[in-house]
Every structure is written in structure tokens, then in C-alpha cells.
Amino acid sequence: MNLALFDLDNTLLSGDSDFEWAQFLIEQGVLDRELFEAKNLTFYEQYKAGTLDIHEFLDFQLKPLSRHARKVLDAWHEEFMRRKVRGMMGSAARELVARHRAAGDVCVIITATNSFVTAPIAREFGVEHLIATEPEQQDGEFTGRVAGVPCFREGKITRLESWMAQHGWNWDSFAESWFYSDSLNDLPLLNKVKSPVAVDPDATLRAHAEQQGWRVMTLR
């Protein structure tokens, strides 16, 4: 049995669904452009630089979910998929996932972006398993807070190992394991798998991958 792990934003997607969701809400007039656009850009730059405070960001990203009914959010998300996401789902990324699925590998998208934004994207890629940051819910509605450990940096390992345990697995259950990622933020998990793959990597990850002799590839 083999394990194929995929980061989502700027890896399988040629863009960032977290960033684009906030931009979509601004374009819809749901969020005030003057107040939110600059903050969204700032958080995105901090993420790329490896300096993001994940809890500060999640407070920004999850609060809007708590202000609207779930059925309204779901309708917006359908439009978000049509206008923003599908254009970021390239053929090379779809083919990579399809190859692992055809080989019978256990396929998992593991992402810091919250599961409300990412679950429909994972389904569109045909990936059964999603490990994402979980927004807290009460009676089916979002509270604006995070539930459990954010799926970010070392938190990805924590969440992945908990998910493995729920299936009766551990690292030794898999003859081979891959993790495809673009980001320096994913170095903790990249260092855990047997076959780390840098996908269209940022400068820090590219330098590390070249030093370590990791595979570097593009999906663009």
C-alpha cells in the first residue's frame, strides 16, 4: 500500500484558493474592499515568506463564515468554483492525481486552507480523503473559530498521523509515500515522507530540494 499526499494551493491548483475565496467575497460585496483586500494581500505575503501567524490569519479567514447562513455560503461556493477554481485546475495536476488513483495509492489532499473552501475542490479532483483546517460548527453553522489543530506546518504532521490512526495505519503501513508541495511551510511534512516532491516550488523550497536531491517538477 502506498500513500500519495498533495498540497492544494499553488501545487495542484495554479493559484491559492484561500486568497481567492477572500477576493471572491470582496468582489461579491460581502467584504469591504478597503478593509479586507490589503489584509488579504498582507497575509498572503506572510505565508509565502514563512512568517504567517496561522491563528491571526484564521481569525480573519473564518469570521466571515460565521456571518452568513450555510445555505448562502454553499451557493456562493458554487459560484466561486465556477468563476475562480476550475480555471486553476490544470490538466497536468488532474493527470498526476489520476495516475496515483489508477495505481491504487491512497490519495490525500492535505492543506492549511479550511475544509469549507477545499472539500468541493478535493471532490472535483476525485480525491477521496481531505485533511484540512476545520472551521468550528454549531448546529451546522460556522462559529468563526477553528476546531482542533490547524493543518499548517508541523500541524500537518499532527493531523495526518491522527488521520492514519483512525484508519489503523501508521507510517510503516505504506511501502512508499509521496508528498507534492510548492511551499517552504511544508518542509516538516516533506521531510517525513519517503519521496518528497517540490512542485513549482518557492525559492526556499527549491534551494532545499536541490541540496537534498529531491525531485523538482512543474504542473503548469
18 is annotated as an active-site residue: no
Pairing of strands 176-181, 215-217: unpaired
Give the separation between CA 82 and CA 75, rounded to whole angstroms.
11
Q: In sequence order, which residues have a C-beta less than 8 Å from that of residue 148 and are 6 or more positions away?
A: 134, 159
Give the separation between CA 191 and CA 108, rounded to whole angstroms.
17
Buried (b) or exposed (e) across 148-172, using 16+ Cβ within 10 A? Answer: ebbbbbebbbbbbeeebeeeeeeee
Which one-letter amino acid corresponds to residue 19?
F
74 is annotated as an active-site residue: no
Its sign, for the CA torsion 92, 219, 98, 195, is positive
* Of 7, 18, 182, 202, catalytic: 7
Give the separation between CA 160 and CA 182, rounded to whole angstroms.
18
Q: In sequence order, which residues have a C-beta less than 8 Å from that of residue 101 and are 6 or more positions away?
A: 107, 126, 127
- Convert 62-75 into a string of H (helix), E (strand) and C (coil): HHHHHHCCHHHHHH
Catalytic residue numbers read: 7, 9
